[in-house]
Amino acid sequence: MTPPSRSRDESRAPWRLAFAQLGIGLAVTACYDAPGPPGGDGSASTGTASADDTTGDASGGTTGDTTTTGDDETTTDPTQPSSDGSTTGVPDTDPSADDSSTGEPQTCLDSEAPFGPPTPLVSLNSRDHDEGAWVSPDELTLYFSSSRPGGVGGFDLYVSTRDGRFDEFGDPASVSDVNTPGAERRPSVTTDGLTLFAESISQSGDYDILVSTRPNTVAAFGPLLGVAGINTPSHEAGVRTNADGTMLYFDSDSTGDADLYRAARQPDGSFGDVVPIGELNVPGAGDSNATPTSDGLTIYFSSTRDGGSGSYDIYAARRSTIDDGFGQPVALVELNTTSIDVPSAVSEDGCRLYYFNSAASGYDMFVAERSP
């Protein structure tokens, strides 16, 4: 795939360029365009409401719904055990990575070491676009977005679970009460599993950041509503939250280029104090999809800045304390390709990076791990 040129138009319309290069029809002429659903225009109606702060003691969760997979086969909720008491999965694929004395997977010794070769999430990737994986702290629950057949919109949100970290993820289930005929993409969930953020196409054709909550991890998420204090007439997307949902990271093209921002939760539940992450933004380039580590000291993001390997490349920047600014970003040359590479989640110990790229015919999801 020929690397796209790095023009100002690209920084203003990164996803439209990406999908045009992949030969996919566009739903809307927007900065973060997505393929529209078959026979649909890809638009979605959204509301505006503030999100209440929620608490809980469980990580991850499922909707308990039935869905259609990419092969048009109806499956039950993957979190429900089969007759032998197991969920869909396979035996550990790398027993050597376990600690022989405890059976627990080893953690990497250096959370700044280069990542090893990426592994595709084969049980989740379909023949369509699969992107934006978010994983629970134990990495046993994964939310993502996909344009696979059987959904209700151009992109829908899905959830999958597994028994152990070396198991394959089971068949994904649609997060049905959240999905609409429009496009819901790139979910991010607080570690208690009770608040879900995502991006969706608004009635005006731009992307907005939305939120859904639920009272416990057994209940289904409610409809997505606009996040007060964040959205503008421009495009806001690429949302990621810190562990307790008190800080949002996102990108917006409100100043022309796609730039990275953060916003703090206010006492009334809305988000305010929206500020650009100036030390990471490059004028004339597209900077998007900020993905912080659980301690907030490292942030991964995607950028079209000069010197990269392809269109959007993954960079990492670090800081000593959460009160400091981030240092000079460094490209993850071991993962970047001549295609589009976008980070989406980091494991709790900082040893594994989940991301997606467009090297194949569409977006596929991968995980890369640092050596123990």
Angle CA 26–134–244, to nearest 5? 120
- Which CATH architecture is the domain 8-54+112-332+357-369 placed in? 5 Propeller (2.115)
Whether residue 97 contacts residue 172, with contact meaning beta carbons closer than 8 Å, is answered with no
349 with 108: CB under 8 angstroms? yes
Instruction: Report the C-alpha gap between 222 and 61 in whole angstroms.
Output: 13
Please give the Cα distance from 133 to 57 (Å, whole number). 22
pTM for the model stands at 0.75
Low-confidence ranges of the chain (pLDDT < 50): 1-103
Task: Write out pLDDT tens, residues 351-362.
Answer: 999 999 998 878
- CB within 8 A of 69, min separation 6: which ones? 75, 126, 148, 150, 171, 172
Give the DSSP H or E segment for 368: strand 364-369
Sheet holding 173-174, edge to edge: 130-135, 141-146, 156-161, 173-174
Q: What is the pLDDT of residue 7?
A: 35
